[in-house]
Amino acid sequence: MAGIAFHGDPAVKAQALERLRRHIAAGSFVYFPAWEEGRANVIGAIVEADDTPRFAEQLGYPIALAETLPMFVNGFRPQAEAGRFAQAWLERTPVGADLTRIVSQLVLDLLANPELAALTEQRPDVEEGRRAIMALHRRAIDGDEPDRKTWKAARMAAVAATDALDEGTLDRRAGQVIEAAAWPGAMRTVLGDTLSGLGTLELNLSLTRIGWTEQDESRVFHIREQAEKDGYKAEFSGLDRVLAILDADHPVLAQQFRLRLERVEASSERYRSMGWKTIELMERAPLAAAPVPAQ
């Protein structure tokens, strides 16, 4: 039963939870890789392989939810919080819940983002695409799934509207979010691509507000690259080394770079909030199958 949680069988849920908890307790639960030398992320812990389609098939989750789950988990720090969220995902998904409409519900939520709408409303063709694609997802939620031809027409219109915008602009990034959403909920990457696109747009808006530019990003890269060639500040490593170099030689840039790091860290909140929203939607989903009695 595609899209029916745990295929209505409590034993499927119990086995998945047992495998996940075993990895968490053993300290072998990781952000990545999915499955390697006994370490596993949320997908690998359950299917014991780097195989998202198998995860979706075995547990009855729509493929787009399974594909996006690691993105949600990776938004949580530290590792213990990621593990708690992964457990909550399984624990709070009702056995037999009909999950088939949740992807479109989530995509609708992303397309209704106020900052996205504020940008698209300045571009009539892009805004028309946003509204048209939202209407298609609403139809799907109501049980009137648009056919492939209808989805393709909306997608092509969104692509044309985006292609008319200048490369590297916030407007174009907004258009790319609309493009990503122009697929049915059964499409494997529709939710992850839309979420990633909106996350990137929000991060760029945030960096623009603090005055961080691509030139600043390039400048930090070249400063770090030169220091590695010269062996400068070699007593430090990683990000600590970059900060030590900037503090010593470029204090104004160092201050801006710290603000940039803060904004990047804050951008994970989009993934965390959408993860919890997904769980809440699954909890409220109608039951499509009566749970199989435990043996």
Tokens of 135: 């209407």
Query: What is this structure's pTM?
Result: 0.93
Q: Is the pLDDT of residue 36 over 80?
A: yes
pLDDT digits (tens, 9 = 90+) for 76-105: 999 999 999 999 999 999 999 999 999 999
Q: How many CA atoms lie within 13 A of 82 on its CB side?
A: 25
Domain chopping of the chain, boundaries: 5-99+271-284, 102-209, 214-266
Greatest Cα-to-Cα distance within the chain, rounded to the nearest angstrom:
69
97, amino acid identity = A
pLDDT, residue 292, reads 59
What's the chain's length in residues?
Answer: 295
Strand pairing category for 39-40 and 35-36: antiparallel
Instruction: Determine the distance from the C-alpha atom of residue 121 to the mean position of all C-alpha atoms in its chain, rounded to a whole number.
Output: 24
Q: Over range 45-73, report the average pLDDT.
A: 98
Cα–Cα distance between 38 and 205 in angstroms, integer?
40
In degrees and rounded to multiples of 5, residue 255 shows phi and psi of -65, -45
- What are the phi and psi torsion angles at 40 (to 5°)? -150, 145
Average pLDDT score, the chain: 96
Confidence at 294, pLDDT banded by 50, 70, 90 = low
pLDDT, tens digit, for every residue of 120-179? 999 999 999 999 999 999 999 999 999 999 999 999 999 999 999 999 899 999 999 999
The answer on pLDDT for 293 being more than 80 is no
**For range 226-240, the mean pLDDT:** 95
Distant-in-sequence contacts of 266-272, Cβ < 8 A, 24+ apart? 266/206, 267/199, 267/202, 267/203, 267/206, 268/75, 268/76, 268/77, 269/75, 270/75, 270/195, 270/198, 270/199, 270/202, 271/71, 271/72, 271/74, 271/75, 271/195, 271/199, 272/72, 272/75, 272/76, 272/85
| pLDDT > 90 fraction of the chain, expressed in percent and rounded | 96
